[in-house]
Structure 1
């Protein structure tokens, strides 16, 4: 479409998302080189999020040795990250690179609801995991009787129910943009998918992120203090004759501390990924939505990439996960009795 420029002397070509539809959004896509580069970068993140988390879920659900309350929480967390890679990231990638929403108005709301659901589900899962690790490290021998399969199941159900109920209710009742009718009307066009959040709900969003995150940080600080004390105690006992029960307690404590350290790194990665986004949305809502779109997109994709990070963290710190991946990738997971393999053994399992 051709329109007059501001001085009225020349015509400027304007590209629209839908050329033959009145009220179409203006398209401002990238040239071929940057488009290919962005598709590769974002596509790589999607592949990592989808297949990395799929490997985590298959590993924990297939190998009986990994069937524990804590690991089921990790598998459920991976499911949330997997669903981000399937239902959110690909559509956000096309919207960013093409600067248009080609997936219909109804899926726009679904997309935003999925985004919120899986985000808060991850937060709640990580919060419950930090509670699990705190009990495991501070009282490792009593821990199996406190954090049972049924307790883990309740934590998983609560994480999913609270997150999905909140997100879908918020977007499908329209409460998110109450008082922003003029802004929404100005932004609305065919081929757009902009979700506005008023100050009240932005604040609620931030608190739903900040409070569980604060709980996680406090618990992990306590965990590492206890772990340090335990390590000193075990070291002081190393030159003395240990009873078998003391030796067993030391081994259990060491294992639980290592698991807490790994999951602590996952929590740190989560906070680094999500904190800038929540701060930006909070500040933006109170300053009249002045943040440039590209800044917002950088922050949102930083959060999406977090969904791909946990499998990389597990692969780096958990030898059992690396062994499980080898079994799955080589197809040996389909062999009879493969589910009973000892993944914690130092022997070569693929021989």
Structure 2
């Protein structure tokens, strides 16, 4: 965020690389070792490709197999779309901004990029909140679940989440309410090629608590309740176990096992989300009270640690969800390797 130091000598100024060399008020480019820069570019590009194609595989898989067309997987489908869009529309530009310390696309696109970044982050946590509610109803209130939770009701909830997140994020960024009271700081750090998303104390508090800490606490509480109920159900089932079981009992047991497996898998997804984004929101909340003293490289690294959540979600499905695992194998074999596996089922 800092412009050129007034105490720099002429020789120092000549050696400084600028984002826009022909503009005297240009921001300076970051000085990084070439080998380090290339290595980080390769690492981040690999992360972006894994994020895009991994989540694209989830989208194709759920769309292709009717067996996966359930309310829960509809939420997972929308979440995968969020992560895929993040990989396509946000992460590449964030990569260049971090490593070059320059924004080459102008102020308007800077605001659009920041708004999209904020939108997709909010959509992600609200989707995971919806997942936790869905799993809570499925495990703790199974008799009424099928009547109350349908694809239609879930689609309405997803549409509301997207509309709310878009309206909130673009409203905050375009109205510049997030930087009210920070005008003097922005004037001091103003230069051509700068694109940094910062929040004043009020908006940092709202963003962190209302959109992360409070939903995160609610989700954690719901999953603790779910695992408590699952443990009780497993204990009851083991006590009622007999040598001979009817077909109906076996089907109920199999259904209960699938629900518990889904709850465990989605609980892992939620845990990864909280772990990836918690450091970022702690810094976002505390930074305005410390006069924005967090180094930009540290802040960007925390942002990318949060982005990593979008990369890991498809891996969680593949490792912990057998139906997705089998579906992934069929999709890859049939459409990527062109093998005749159309008779396989999941």
TM-score, structure 2 as length reference: 0.92
| Aligned ranges 1:313-328 → 2 under 5 Å | 313-328=316-331
* Contact 1:140-1:252 at 8 Å conserved across structures: no
| Residues 6 and 168 of structure 1: CA distance in aligned 2, closer, same or farther (over 3 Å) | closer
Alignment deviations for residues 92-134 of structure 1 (CA, whole Å, 9 cap, x no partner): 1111111111122211101100011000000110001001011
TM-score, structure 1 as length reference: 0.91
| Residues 137 and 171 of structure 1: CA distance in aligned 2, closer, same or farther (over 3 Å) | same
| Residues 9 and 170 of structure 1: CA distance in aligned 2, closer, same or farther (over 3 Å) | closer
Q: Are 2:249 and 1:254 equivalent residues in the alignment? A: no
| Residues 227 and 39 of structure 1: CA distance in aligned 2, closer, same or farther (over 3 Å) | same
1:158 is matched with 160
Once residues 156 and 237 of structure 2 are traced to their aligned partners in structure 1, the CA distance between those partners, rounded to angstroms, is: 35
* Contact 1:17-1:24 at 8 Å conserved across structures: yes
Displacement of 1:14: 1.4
2:133 is matched with 131
The structure 1 residue matched to 2:187, chosen from 175, 185, 188, is 185
Displacement of 1:327: 2.5
1:204 is matched with 206
| Residues 313 and 4 of structure 1: CA distance in aligned 2, closer, same or farther (over 3 Å) | closer
2:70 is matched with 68
Displacement of 1:316: 0.4
2:273 is matched with 270
Once residues 332 and 298 of structure 1 are traced to their aligned partners in structure 2, the CA distance between those partners, rounded to angstroms, is: 36
Q: Are 2:216 and 1:237 equivalent residues in the alignment? A: no
Alignment deviations for residues 134-169 of structure 1 (CA, whole Å, 9 cap, x no partner): 111123343222211111112211221111111000
| Residues 146 and 337 of structure 1: CA distance in aligned 2, closer, same or farther (over 3 Å) | farther
Once residues 72 and 255 of structure 1 are traced to their aligned partners in structure 2, the CA distance between those partners, rounded to angstroms, is: 17
Q: Are 2:220 and 1:217 equivalent residues in the alignment? A: yes
Alignment deviations for residues 217-236 of structure 1 (CA, whole Å, 9 cap, x no partner): 00000000011111111111
Once residues 152 and 9 of structure 1 are traced to their aligned partners in structure 2, the CA distance between those partners, rounded to angstroms, is: 63
| Residues 71 and 5 of structure 1: CA distance in aligned 2, closer, same or farther (over 3 Å) | closer
Q: Gapped runs of 5+ residues in structure 1?
A: 344-351
2:103 is matched with 101
Displacement of 1:342: 2.5
Partner secondary structure for residue 330 of structure 1: helix
Displacement of 1:332: 4.4
* Contact 1:72-1:152 at 8 Å conserved across structures: yes
* Contact 1:68-1:149 at 8 Å conserved across structures: yes
* Contact 2:72-2:134 at 8 Å conserved across structures: yes
1:346 is matched with none
* Contact 1:29-1:99 at 8 Å conserved across structures: no
* Contact 2:330-2:344 at 8 Å conserved across structures: no
* Contact 2:132-2:222 at 8 Å conserved across structures: yes
1:59 is matched with 61
* Contact 1:65-1:342 at 8 Å conserved across structures: no
1:111 is matched with 113
| Residues 124 and 193 of structure 1: CA distance in aligned 2, closer, same or farther (over 3 Å) | same
Displacement of 1:240: 5.6
The structure 2 residue matched to 1:88, chosen from 90, 97, 117, is 90
Once residues 173 and 317 of structure 1 are traced to their aligned partners in structure 2, the CA distance between those partners, rounded to angstroms, is: 43
1:348 is matched with none
* Contact 1:176-1:196 at 8 Å conserved across structures: yes
| Residues 211 and 7 of structure 1: CA distance in aligned 2, closer, same or farther (over 3 Å) | closer
Across the aligned residues of Structure 1 and Structure 2, the Cα RMSD in angstroms comes to 2.2
Q: Gapped runs of 5+ residues in structure 2?
A: none
Q: Are 2:343 and 1:330 equivalent residues in the alignment? A: no
- Greater mean alpha carbon deviation, residues 5-14 or residues 132-141: 5-14
2:290 is matched with 287
